[in-house]
Structure 1
Amino acid sequence: MQVSVETTSQIERRITIQVPAGEIDEAVNTRLKETAKNVRLNGFRQGRVPMAVVRQRYGESVRNEVVGEVMRERYVRAITDEGFNPAGYPQIEPTVNEAGKDFEFVATMEVYPEVELASIEGTEVERPVVEVTDADVDEMIATLRKQNAAWEEVDAAAEDGDQVTIDFQGYIGDEPFEGGSAEGHELVIGSNSFIPGFEEQLIGAKAGDDKTIKVTFPDDYQAEHLAGKEASFQVKVHKVSRQSLPEVDAEFIERFGVEGGDETKFRAEIKKNMTREAAQAVDNRVKQQIMDALKKANDIPVPTALVQQETDGMKRQAAQQFGLGEDFDVSQLPNELFEEQAKGRVQVGLLLAEVIKANELDASDDEIKAKVEELAEQYQDPSEVVDYYMGNEQMKTQVKSAVLEEKAVDKLLEQATVKDVDMSYQQVLAAAQQQAEAGEGAEEDEATSA
């Protein structure tokens, strides 16, 4: 077997492999003899069909089988001998495939990039310093009361925050438009779930009122035939309801798993959860700055196959998130929606793997268990979660990857200049939300293998 390698890019290799004609012909003849033993043809007894007939009938298909096996086997042998670390499957194409001639094929493949890590020395990282206050806990309890509020019908004019039950029909000029009508729709004024200007015009309405509401659809409205157009809605108000907030009593507190309804324990549990949430937001904010600096200092090429794998995974996550069902064909989702983010994830994964390797980082069982216990705190029965994770090698491996990733970030953080910045709980959560909406921090759940 003769092998020649051409480097066509930083991560692409073109391997040309030649196999002597005799080896192919011998393998084909052997396979044809085996085939002849079981061939059944009219006019011949089983196993007595002349080889010339067997070759005429089955020669081409047998050669294709042999060639396919040879290409797979010789490709593996070649990349092993050359020490390549392929990323994804190769493209294999025969270039000379004729009886009596040396067989030749070309395998084009991508390899993992060779990374020489550049330092992020001098990078400035802002690290939020957050303290969850009693006022923050009060605000969280107020939010929980609103989430558990009941709507009670009132004989009063609708105010901001009230819920109105309405029928409506929308018109462009004198013509009703598709999708512009509903009956018995429950709308919370101030929720901004309707066209801008619609909800405000319901303030002051009472049950039984008929109103004409005029609005202009935004220029970027998703329904292009309505974008930028003026519309009117005929609205019938059936009911006005107002939120009735629950009292913070034992019954309310027990809904959140605090036995006995003790308010002191309730507040302590809320503060504990908020503190954990704030710490995660801080870690993610710091990590994102480190990842951005790492990518900027190390603009490595990423294999297309890995980006496609990540893109496919993100498509599946999106389909699950939006409840599209297990049978949904994710190929219907355009690659373009995910490719840039997927490329960033792959790049970060490769770089973090190199950081882990360069610093010989590892995670012990005790460290893995400590991380699992941290994750389990948010569940009803933490011990059950810990037992499940520690008894499942696949889950343990995922947690180990997360621990190694944290260690890698800590190592990189040693190269940076860290500036502590005081932030409130609300500020750090708002910053985390903005980061998520901007598509940043996409790598926070990405498992990195050493």
Structure 2
Amino acid sequence: MQAQLETLGQLERRLDLAIPMGEIDAAVEDRLKRVARTARIQGFRPGKAPLKIVAQNYGFQVREEVLGEKVEAAFSNAVKEQQLRVAGYPQFQAQPIEGDAFKVSAHFEVYPEVVLSDLSSIEVERPLLTVGEAEVDKTIEILRKQRTRFERVEREVQKGDRVIVDFKGTIDGTPFAGGSADNFAFMAGEGQMLPEFDSAVLGMKEGESKTFDLNFPADYQGADVAGKTASFEVTVKNVAAPVLPEVDADFARTLGVEDGDVAKMRDEIRKNVEREVKRRLSARAKESVMSALVAANPLELPRALVSLEIGRLVEQAKEEMKSRGFDTSKLPVPPQVFEEQAKRRVSLGLILAEVVRSNELQAKPEQIKRIVEEFAEAYEHPAEVVKWYYASQDRLDGPEALAIEDNVVEFVFSKAKTVEKTLSFDELMGNA
């Protein structure tokens, strides 16, 4: 077998292979003999047909199989000899048969050489937040609001009230689609309605009616009414004020504290908040490190790897849409939407692999165990969860990957210029 390598571009290669025809013919004949032992051909008992007849019936198929195997083996051997790291799948193109060799060209891409930049030259941000009583109090307020009940009141509508109304809208005296509703409920002053609608209802009482004009924004989602002025008649049918539960034993029980101990409830909330804050701080720190690594180490990416990653992202999107009840056959997912995300993921994967390899940042068993135990803390029976993870090596792949990422993050922080940034609780939790 002969092999000749040609560089077509920064990552593109062509490998010309020549496989002796005698080697191929011998392999075809050997396989045909094996096929002949069990071949069922009309007019002959099983395994008794002459080799010539077997070749007439199975020769083409056998030769195709042998050629495929020989080309694959030749390519694999040549790649090892040339010490090439093939990215994606090669494309084979057979050449016209001349002389005593079968010639084929393999077009493929190789992985780029990753030469990491000096980490001391990059800057990363480490977010900070300490959980105290104020953060516990804010969380309790959120939990109270989630359990809000509404009581009917005989007063003017105020911000935060739940209001039930009938309304009818017209444009130039003509009703329009979506412009009317009966027993429509919304939270007054909370941005659920257009500002002019909200303003009109605030201050009204149960049983009152009002007519007012409303200007739809030019970019309003309803194209038929966007930029137009409508006249609305609204009647308030019910006004209910929000009532939050007291922080007492009953409230504690609703949160799973069976004996109603409020102090115990606060301790549980603190633990949960600390766990969530830690997770979010870690995610932000990780994102800062990953973004810095990608920016500091630009790479020429194999198109094959990017295409494979786009395919994975498209399939994930389809599965997500299906789980939400969408028909993906009627709502196609354009691959180009995921191109930049795919490029970032491929680039980051190559960079991380080199950071881990060159600095020996592989996950240690105790790190994986710690992550598994942290996962388990969120469940009622942690020991069973830990046992479930360790029942299969595949289940430990996720915790192992997280441990490696944690090692990379801490390594980069130890080498790079680190800027500490204290966040507010609302900012970190997305309430700002």
- TM category (shorter chain) comes to 0.7 to 0.9
Task: Tell me the distance in 2 between the aligned counterparts of 1:11 and 1:229.
Answer: 56
Task: Tell me the distance in 2 between the aligned counterparts of 1:144 and 1:277.
Answer: 15
Q: Which moved more, 1:203-212 or 1:116-125?
A: 203-212
1:263 Cα shift? 1.4
Q: Which one-letter code corresponds to 1:19 in the other structure?
A: I
Change beyond 3 A, Cα 1:200–1:109: farther
Aligned to 1:73: 73
Aligned to 1:378: 378
Unaligned residue ranges in structure 2 (runs of 5+): none
Aligned to 1:95: 95
Aligned to 1:40: 41
Number of equivalences: 429
Aligned to 2:406: 406
Query: Residues 18-417 of structure 1: matches in 2 within 5 Å?
Result: 18-31=18-31, 38=39, 40-41=41-42, 44-45=43-44, 59-96=59-96, 98=97, 102-168=101-167, 171-212=170-211, 214-319=213-318, 323-325=323-325, 328=328, 332-417=332-417
Change beyond 3 A, Cα 1:381–1:186: farther
Aligned partner of residue 121 in structure 1, secondary structure = helix
When the two chains are superposed, the root-mean-square deviation of aligned CA atoms in Å is 3.3
Change beyond 3 A, Cα 1:28–1:256: same
Task: Tell me the distance in 1 between the aligned counterparts of 2:92 and 2:195.
Answer: 57
Once the two structures are aligned, what percentage of the paired residues are identical?
40
Contact 2:124 2:292 in 1 (8 A): no
TM-score normalized with structure 2 length = 0.85
Change beyond 3 A, Cα 1:155–1:348: same
Deviations 1:73-119 (A, max 9, x none): 333333233333333322233233x4976322222223332211111
Q: Which one-letter code corresponds to 1:40 in the other structure?
A: I
Task: Tell me the distance in 2 between the aligned counterparts of 1:110 and 1:177.
Answer: 58
Change beyond 3 A, Cα 1:311–1:241: farther
Task: Tell me the distance in 1 between the aligned counterparts of 2:271 and 2:71.
Answer: 60
Task: Tell me the distance in 1 between the aligned counterparts of 2:68 and 2:233.
Answer: 70
TM-score normalized with structure 1 length = 0.82
Q: Which one-letter code corresponds to 1:2 in the other structure?
A: Q
Contact 2:164 2:239 in 1 (8 A): yes
Deviations 1:213-265 (A, max 9, x none): 54344444445454434444554544332222111111211222223121112
1:180 Cα shift? 4.8
Aligned partner of residue 121 in structure 2, secondary structure = coil
Change beyond 3 A, Cα 1:348–1:83: same
Aligned partner of residue 140 in structure 2, secondary structure = helix
Deviations 1:349-386 (A, max 9, x none): 22122111111123332221112222333333333322
Task: Tell me the distance in 1 between the aligned counterparts of 2:27 and 2:189.
Answer: 77
